[in-house]
Structure 1
Amino acid sequence: MPDDTYTGPINPDPQPGEADVELYGYVPSAVLGVVGVLVFLIVLSINTFRWFKNRKTGTLSFYFFLAFGALLEAAGYGCRIASHNNPYKTDIFIVEFFLVTCAPIAFAASIYLNLTFATKKYPLGRSLLWLNPRWVLIIFIAFDLCTTVVQITGAGIVGISTSKSLSGESVSVSPQTGNSILEAGLAVQITSFGCFLILLTIAITRIPRLGGIPPVVDAEVKKWATTNCRKLLGITMFAALLILLRTSYRLACQVQGYFGYLNTHEYLFGLLDFTPVAIATLTLSFFPPSNV
Structure 2
Amino acid sequence: MINEKILVPAIFAAFILLEAVTGRFFQKEKGSTRDVVIEVSSSLTIVLITVPLIFAVAPLLVEAVRPGSEDALAFLPWWAMLGILLVADDMTQYWWHRASHTFPVLYNLHRAHHSGGYLSIRTAYRNNLFYYLFMPGLWLAAILVHLGFYPVYAVYLVVKMTVIFGAHSAWRWDEALYRVPAFTPVMWVLERTISTPATHSAHHGLHKEDGVTHYKGNYGNLLFFWDVLFGTAKITRRYPETYGIEGMEPVSAGRELLWPLVRK
With normalisation by structure 2, the TM-score equals 0.30
Task: Give the number of the structure whose alpha-carbon radius of gyration is greater.
Answer: 1
* Bigger helix share: 1
